[in-house]
Structure 1
């Protein structure tokens, strides 16, 4: 807890068995984080088998639904949090300072509904991509009272960052960009190999464009992110490990 703010870290993960433990080790050593939830989005590897020593909560989708749906599942299962930290499972050189820099602006200024991390000084290719389109970064802190009233974004998959950023800006939510020095993440090609990695990269870009094109039609829908565990789908399993 940081200045009476309950903080939950949500880590959506898909086939991140070789990498997720490094992120969780950092989170477990941060005293101001009250809860850690891994959402295994239908992985085909052993991502869901987080080492028992981590003592984190794990929610598993029996099929892959996409990043947007994974985040919503996490929010619904931790529906009382003041602040949510959204963190990718494949981060490199994550440390406590990065997490504090994401959360602190929201603790200091109640008008801020979301912070967005921007990678700097990590890897050249990643830094360049962040300069071109910084809103695609998945490292964010969001205010609980705000995110639980956002229109349903379970459909958005990798376009979730585009959706949330535009939603905040369109509906008066203050957003602050936060530089995160020295941090990076694994590229698709490093995780899957050159050919399959390229396929996953193109698929990710397609989902981002899809979210951008459908944004206006989706925000006209009445549904919101309801923080009610009774609304969970039957194909989700929850356990503490």
Structure 2
């Protein structure tokens, strides 16, 4: 039986981290849950540990990509699941991502959330991410920024290290697709905290746009250098 590890990067997620951890620990396929506390200033680490997660603490806030790199280094699973910390009870939907990998139907699965009917932003970040993935791989994807993914160990070894900041998912998709791995988007009924059309939301999306653009620029240089794989 293949072993499944769940890795959850978290920064100041005390409100939801315990529910998220409990939900994934209830899944019969999951053998371990690792929470990487990215130098939170609240009770995130303590609550995650109390809920049953193995907690790895970073001494300073280093961002999502660095937290994931730290977490997967300690994961023992044949399948590794990446989840956001704020999913709460809806994290149990991760089973829909895990099963296709275990059945050999996909090498990487990506959660596709239901539409909320609300417009959080103007779609600039998602549009940039989709265009970048299309440029490098020819793939048309619906959820280019989804952080909820399951990967086989083989995929994981080929895509590390993860990109910095919010460029993680775009680089992950591009690297996996160019290696010929099978990627499937899976509809799920997950819920997490949404950013709105307020100042905080626009600042968040501005950082996302910056990180995705920088990641695509680095990939353009990396993948066009002589001696690098080209697809």
The answer to whether TM tops 0.5 is yes
The alpha-carbon distance between structure 1 residues 19 and 38, as it changes in their structure 2 partners (threshold 3 A), is same
The equivalent residue for 1:83 is 79
Per residue, is there more strand in 1 or in 2? 1
The answer for the alignment partner of 2:108 in structure 1 is 114
1:74 alignment counterpart = 71
Q: CA deviation at 1:92?
A: 5.2
**Larger relative contact order (Cα-Cα within 8 Å, sequence gap ≥ 6):** 1
1:184 correspondence with 2:191 = yes
8 Å CA contact retained: 1:115, 1:175 = yes
Q: Give 1:121 deviation, angstroms.
A: 4.9
2:42 aligned counterpart, secondary structure:
coil
2:37 aligned with 1:40: yes
State the Cα deviation string for residues 35-70 of structure 1 (Å, max 9, x = none). 000011122222222255412100111112121111
Using the size of structure 1 for normalisation, the TM-score is 0.77
Where does structure 1 lack aligned partners over 5 or more consecutive residues?
223-241
Q: Which residue of 2 aligns with 1:173?
A: 181
The answer (yes or no) to whether the contact 1:123–1:184 under 8 Å persists in 2 is: no
In the TM superposition, residue 124 of structure 1 has moved relative to its aligned partner by: 3.7
Of 195, 213, 217, the residue aligned with 2:217 is: 213
| TM, length-normalised to structure 2 | 0.80
Comparing 6-15 and 43-52, the one that deviates more: 43-52
Segments of 5+ residues of structure 2 without an aligned counterpart are 128-141
Q: Is the 8 A contact 2:98 2:150 kept in 1?
A: yes
Cα RMSD of the aligned pairs, angstroms, is: 2.7
